[in-house]
């Protein structure tokens, strides 16, 4: 029985192999036939004889003829030209007087016209100020230094040179013009601690005078220092005495004036004291008015005291008289060095 099963298996295997071989042969013949049926396609290009040149119609190719343009002429019956009347016509806007004048504008600073201020320390703790303001000729300027303030007038070329007592070791100075412009300068004054200073400042012409009486000097004596006998900075040489500087230009509008007395305290040649007082002269221009003033004292290289005072000046019947203010400034006590 088992032998019969083996025979059947061999027959089945042989039949399957034969079927597979027939299928492979059929597929190969079909592939070759399909490739042979595809033929190449060649590009078709037109023959040169088929290209014709296009030409424009005769009407378009003919040259153009120029046509002259003729303007129409004016009619012969046009109106004759007319002339203007010989008598001029006057138009009156208003017979009323003008209501008022327009306000004047403040002068504007010129572009590229800078002001320059330089400060240089000099002997006796003084500072030389030099102002260059070419666009500010002949104008009122206000000089500021610490609490000191006074007015000057620039020269025709806008320049100004003045010597100002320093009130601080690191001294800062400024000048201002009426239009708001200004200039600033600074300088170090190391010699200031060697000197004591007393100053008064006020607004207006004349009026006040600062007097220093050195070592008991009488009025009008050698040691009496005031605007009538101010001395100069050479007086401090050797510590012999002090000097007075008057600041401000009374010709300026609303002038600010000042006077400063300087004494070489730390190099004084003798011991003693310096009495200080202020005198106010009554004149026809200030009689019966109030006078505001300020005193400034400088010790040890800095401002130590500032006092404000308002004076009630007598009536004009007292014109020519003097008011003496003895306690406005402290006397200087000098120790011999």
Tens-of-pLDDT digits for all 337 residues of the chain?
A: 444 545 455 555 555 555 555 555 544 554 444 444 444 444 444 444 444 444 444 444 444 554 455 556 656 655 566 666 566 665 555 555 555 556 666 655 555 689 999 999 999 999 999 999 999 999 999 999 999 999 999 999 999 999 999 999 999 999 999 999 999 999 999 999 999 999 999 998 767 999 999 999 999 999 999 999 999 989 998 899 999 999 999 999 999 999 999 999 999 999 999 999 999 989 888 888 888 999 999 999 999 999 999 988 899 999 989 999 988 999 999 987 6
pLDDT of residue 91: 56
b/e 179-203 (16+ beta carbons within 10 angstroms → b): eebbbebebebebbbbbbbbbbbbb
Query: Residue 107 falls within a domain, yes or no?
Result: no
The token pair at 182 is 């200004």
Closest CA to 175 of 135, 140, 144: 144
Quote the number of domains for the chain: 1
| Cβ-based neighbour number of residue 125 at 10 Å | 25
CA distance 242 to 273: 12
Query: Residue 1 falls within a domain, yes or no?
Result: no
Query: Residue 272 falls within a domain, yes or no?
Result: yes
**pLDDT tens digits along 109-164:** 555 689 999 999 999 999 999 999 999 999 999 999 999 999 999 999 999 999 99
Q: Write the CB contacts of 64 (distance below 8 Å, at least 6 apart in sequence).
A: none
pLDDT of residue 60: 43
The answer to whether the CB of 154 falls within 8 A of the CB of 138 is yes
Tokens 């001294």, located at residue = 171
DSSP letter at 205 equals: S
The token pair at 245 is 């500087």
Which structural domain, as residue segments, surrounds residue 237? 116-334
**pLDDT tens digits along 199-210:** 999 998 767 999
The token pair at 249 is 């230009």
pLDDT of residue 72: 60
pLDDT of residue 43: 41
b/e 149-176 (16+ beta carbons within 10 angstroms → b): bbbbebeeebebebbbbbbbbebebebb
Closest CA to 208 of 330, 315, 313: 313
pLDDT of residue 222: 93
Residues listed for the chain: 337
Query: Residue 163 falls within a domain, yes or no?
Result: yes
CA distance 271 to 243: 17
Query: Residue 6 falls within a domain, yes or no?
Result: no
pTM for this predicted structure: 0.67
Q: End-to-end CA distance of the chain: give it in Å, rounded.
A: 159
The token pair at 279 is 């005198």
Query: Residue 293 falls within a domain, yes or no?
Result: yes
Query: Residue 219 falls within a domain, yes or no?
Result: yes
Q: H or E segment at 27?
A: helix 2-36
Query: Residue 255 falls within a domain, yes or no?
Result: yes
The answer to whether the CB of 210 falls within 8 A of the CB of 229 is no
């Amino acid at each position: 029985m088992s032998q019969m099963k083996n025979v059947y298996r061999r027959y089945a295997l042989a039949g399957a192999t034969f079927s597979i071989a027939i299928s492979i042969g059929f597929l190969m013949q079909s592939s070759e036939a399909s490739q042979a049926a595809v033929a190449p396609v060649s590009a078709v290009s037109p023959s040169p004889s088929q290209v014709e040149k296009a030409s424009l119609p005769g009407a378009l190719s003919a040259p153009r003829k120029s046509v002259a343009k003729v303007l129409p002429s004016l009619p012969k019956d046009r109106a004759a030209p007319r002339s203007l009347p010989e008598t001029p016509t006057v138009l009156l806007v208003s017979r009323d007087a003008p209501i008022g004048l327009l306000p004047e504008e403040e002068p504007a600073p010129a572009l590229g016209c800078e002001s320059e201020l330089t400060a240089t320390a000099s002997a006796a703790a003084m500072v030389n100020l030099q102002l260059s303001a070419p666009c500010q000729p002949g104008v009122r300027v206000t000089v500021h230094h610490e609490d000191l303030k006074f007015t000057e007038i620039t020269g025709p070329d806008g320049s100004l040179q003045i010597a100002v007592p320093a009130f601080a070791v690191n001294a800062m100075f400024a000048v201002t013009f009426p239009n708001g412009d200004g200039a600033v300068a600074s300088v170090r004054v190391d010699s200031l601690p060697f000197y004591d200073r007393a100053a008064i400042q006020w607004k207006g012409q004349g009026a006040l005078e600062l007097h220093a009486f050195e070592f008991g000097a009488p009025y009008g004596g050698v040691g009496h220092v005031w605007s009538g006998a101010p001395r100069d900075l050479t007086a401090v040489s050797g510590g012999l005495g002090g000097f007075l500087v008057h600041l401000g230009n009374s010709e300026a509008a609303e002038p600010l004036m000042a006077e400063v007395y300087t004494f070489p305290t730390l190099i004084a040649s003798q011991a003693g004291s310096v009495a200080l007082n202020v005198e106010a002269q009554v004149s026809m221009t200030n009689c019966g008015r109030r006078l505001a003033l300020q005193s400034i004292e400088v010790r040890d290289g800095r401002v130590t005291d500032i006092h404000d005072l308002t004076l009630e000046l007598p009536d004009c019947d007292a014109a020519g008289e003097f008011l003496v203010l003895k306690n406005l400034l402290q006397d200087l006590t000098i120790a011999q060095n």
